[in-house]
Amino acid sequence: MGEIRHLINITDLSVEELEHLMETADDIIAHPEAYHDICAHKKLATLFFEPSTRTRLSFTAAMMELGGNVLGFDQAQSSSSAKGETVADTIIMAGCYADIIAMRHPKEGAPVVGAAKSRVPIINAGDGGHFHPTQTLTDLMTIHRKKGEIGNFTVGLCGDLKYGRTVHSLIEALLRYEGVKYVLIAPEELQLPGYIRDKLDDAGAEYREVTSLDDAIPELDILYMTRIQQERFPSWEEYEKLKDSFILTRKMLDPAKDDMIIMHPLPRVNEIDVDVDDDPRACYFYQALMGKYIRMALILYLLGIK
């Protein structure tokens, strides 16, 4: 079969590979019947050491729509890690039963440890506050479908830019495309970490940091909202202080561009008012749908199925 490919960070994929995955996903959307049995007799193991409804269901739906089967667990307590088994051992064991693994873990770097031992492709489905590459694929697919191209736009990233792994991965992906301007919208306590800011600087990217969502909205082509993640905070008090920092309402969209798109990796808590859901610019549920198609394309690619 050749070298086993894993997806740990979005930068593991070249721009050409990203384009190939999006073209495959486009074809799946256009001709779903051609893919119904393409993964017959293949198995995906979903090893979720941390709860995640959306990502796990998306991977499960993706494999099932390709005609494959799914096995796994959805929390650490229901795996042998509760007995003290190492991540590496769990991965080796799962590789005996499955052809490909999607893994989520609360500890940064856990998928790297797993990939070093794995006999089958591993997809990082999120590791702590680190990377979430298939969410980034979902984001890129949404932009590709809604904007026609990736590049030459202004994107506003709003909310938890410090702990939000989706934001970090998306910036890393977008830095490889031309003409992207960044507006970083966050309270001072949740601004982008230095190492991501360094990447923006090294790439010569045009960006500015602001604390007001209202001021930023008129110039944006894409507004990427994120929730304030209680599970990433060192203390409940700090979370309580910042949890309602930004709440997008329908009224706030009055000065926005007609073709602006609003994205959110979901789940939302209260950072997007439900009134916004009916606005044609709201794309977060469409985004979730795109996640299924791009994960289908990724599974095929890593399994080497043409």
Q: Kindly name the residue from 104, 130, 144, 264 that is annotated as catalytic.
A: 104
How much is the CA Rg of the chain, to the nearest whole Å?
Answer: 19
Q: Kindly name the residue from 6, 56, 130, 132 that is annotated as catalytic.
A: 132
Residue 44 CB coordination number (10 Å): 27
For residue 187, the Cα-to-chain-centroid distance in whole angstroms is 22
Q: What angle do CA 27, 32, 33 make, to 5 degrees?
A: 125
Q: Is 54 a residue of the active site?
A: yes
DSSP sequence for 79-139: SGGGGT--HHHHHHHHHHH-SEEEEEESSTTHHHHHHHH-SS-EEEEEETTS--HHHHHHH
Of 305, 304, 283, nearest to 141 (Cα)?
283
How far is 187 from 190, CA to CA, in rounded Å?
Answer: 5
Backbone region of residue 62 per phi and psi (left: phi > 0; alpha: psi in -120 to 50; beta: other values): alpha
Q: Kindly name the residue from 55, 60, 138, 166 that is annotated as catalytic.
A: 55
Q: Is 243 a residue of the active site?
A: no
Q: Is 104 a residue of the active site?
A: yes
Q: Kindly name the residue from 5, 20, 54, 199 that is annotated as catalytic.
A: 54
Q: Is 36 a residue of the active site?
A: no
Of 219, 279, 222, nearest to 249 (Cα)?
279
Q: What secondary structure letter does DSSP report for 72? A: E
Q: Is 268 a residue of the active site?
A: no
Catalytic center residues: 54-55, 83, 104, 132
